[in-house]
Amino acid sequence: MSRTPSIPLRPETARAAEGDKIVVGVADLQLSRDSSKSIITYALGSCIGVTLYDPVAKVGGMLHFMLPESTVSVDKAAANPAMFGDLGLPILFDKVVAAGAKRERLVVCAAGGAEVLADDGHFRIGSRNRTVLRKILWKLNILLAADDTGGQHSRTLSLRLADGAIQIRSQGKESTLWPR
Amino acid sequence: MASLNDTIAALDRLPALPATSMRLISMLAGGGRDADLREVESIISHDEAVTAAVLRRANSAAFGMRGRVAGLSDAIRRLGTRELCRIALETQTSGLLANAGRSYGLRRGALSQSALGGAVAADELAQIHRLNREVAFVAALLRDIGKLAIDAVAGPDALEKIAAAADTRPFLAYEREAFGADHAELGALLCERWSLPTEIVAAVRGHHEPPSNPHQPLTDIVHAADCVARWAGLGLGCDGLMYPFDAGARERLGVTRDDLEALVADVLAAAAPEAAPGTAPLRRTA
């Protein structure tokens, strides 16, 4: 994809590792092919977490983006494209493919995109994040395997690299998003 | 669940804001006229955590200073009184909030990070609306201090159960039902006990439900700053996004979607600089 900026994203770092978990911060992206680990992001509100997983190559990646469009803050977008869905999503796909995944095998899941209570249409950051996700996937000709989005609650999303299982934890309850 | 009396009684068991912070806040609320560099220096040099933070800040790239600072007195001279007050308040408030928010399911440090994120947003908004930036910074920094009181009275999983059963009312309504008071009111009661300026008490009390008649400009700003921090993914517990953005405050502040999203990006860069490599945190020298 030609629009990928040349700014390198952070490699998986010691800071991001918590035991068997690779932690994705807000506006962050992590990749791994270590089957003993999970990739996890905490407290997705209006932000969206997107996971990609190739069940054959056992390569996975996760992006936690915060805002839909990078046009609102050009300097922040240049410093960290993972903050924005429009830039972060193509980079996530490129990185996972570069790490050995095959695009046609990718299982794509998403969670988050919650909305502030009683938003009367002024801000709707959560819904607009969901829209940019759909738009980019449409352009890339990729379907979502499963998603858990909307509402007002926060979610923790994890991807187990051994088998690609996607777990969601929200309001004290744990559920499996994929496989269904 | 707890009665209002139990909840109020819990306030007595909470750690207090350090006296030095109270003194610094009253200096800042006086517009800085009252600020005495020697007094600030003495406060800072008696607190190891604050001293370390001052040296870190003075040496950080964000200040763009040539050469490393020689020592504490050099750092103090270079940073200036207002910045020093902020660093001291940030450090001491983080100490209070580091473990707060457990009952909301927050991870360690999440509430201090959200306090700082909101404070940075309030500072920017106060600058636009020509209010005292330091007071806005402090009010937003302390806005969720009442969550300490909820932690003290809520049993394990109590809030998660409440959140799971919640419908479409703001989360404060559920806190009032369960504990007799919500975290905004409890935070205001704590700020009153610490003899903080009345405008800060009012902003903490109204930070989710800003009054409209008469409206309070500082409260509107702290309210918007709170929403911005939440959109930046900071301080999200089981209460999630169950707080509305007040339409009256939005109109009075005249904030557009683009302004607000740019602020969300700034706030994340400032509160979690590791999330935006290469971006200087939002700091200023004056």
Say which CATH number the domain at B162 has. Answer: 1.10.3210.10
Give residue B62's pLDDT. Answer: 62
| B7 contact partners, CB below 8 Å, separation of at least 6 | B149, B153, B179, B180, B181, B186
Residue B198 structural domain: 4-275
pLDDT tens-place string over residues B196-228 = 999 999 999 999 999 999 999 999 999 999 999
User: Is residue B178 situated within a structural domain?
Assistant: yes
Kindly report the nearest CA distance between residue A104 and chain B, in angstroms: 31
User: Is residue B251 situated within a structural domain?
Assistant: yes
| B261 closest CB neighbour out of A72, A115, A119 | A72
> How confident is the prediction for chain A on average, in pLDDT?
90
User: Is residue B286 situated within a structural domain?
Assistant: no
Higher pLDDT, B163 or B33: B163
Give the phi and the psi of residue B248 in degrees, each rounded to 5: -65, -45
The three-state secondary structure class of A173 is: strand
Kindly report the nearest CA distance between residue A28 and chain B, in angstroms: 7
Cα distance between residue A112 and residue A156, in whole Å: 9
> Is B168 part of the contact surface with chain A (CB cutoff 8 Å)?
yes
Average pLDDT value for residue range B268-286: 50
Cβ–Cβ below 8 Å for A66 and B268:
yes
Which of A63, A116, A149 best probes binding to B when mutated, by most B CB atoms within 10 angstroms?
Answer: A116
Cβ–Cβ below 8 Å for B265 and A73:
yes
A136 pLDDT more than 90 = yes
What pTM was estimated for this model as a whole? 0.90
Helix (H) or strand (E) holding B86: helix B81-97
Distances (CA, A) of B15 to A98, B80, B87, B107: 52, 29, 20, 20
Q: Where are the domains of chain A?
A: 17-178
A74 pLDDT more than 70 = yes
The three-state secondary structure class of B163 is: helix
pLDDT tens-place string over residues A147-178 = 999 999 999 999 999 999 999 999 888 999 99
| B165 contact partners, CB below 8 Å, separation of at least 6 | none
Give residue A16's pLDDT. Answer: 57
> Is A45 part of the contact surface with chain B (CB cutoff 8 Å)?
yes
pLDDT tens-place string over residues B163-182 = 999 988 999 999 999 999 99
Give residue A145's pLDDT. Answer: 97
B279 pLDDT more than 50 = no
User: What fold does the segment set A17-178 form as a domain?
Assistant: 60s Ribosomal Protein L30; Chain: A; (3.30.1330)
B127 pLDDT more than 90 = yes
Q: Quick check: is A47 catalytic? A: yes
A15 pLDDT more than 90 = no
Domains contained in chain B, number:
1
Cα distance between residue A81 and residue A111, in whole Å: 19
Q: How far is CA A9 from the centre of its chain?
A: 14
Helix (H) or strand (E) holding B152: helix B147-153
Least trusted range by pLDDT, from A99-103, A151-155, B45-49: B45-49
User: Is residue B283 situated within a structural domain?
Assistant: no
B134 pLDDT more than 60 = yes
A8 pLDDT more than 60 = no
Cβ–Cβ below 8 Å for A122 and B242:
no
Helix (H) or strand (E) holding B159: helix B158-165
B33 pLDDT more than 80 = no
Give residue A30's pLDDT. Answer: 97
B77 pLDDT more than 90 = no
Kindly report the nearest CA distance between residue A122 and chain B, in angstroms: 7
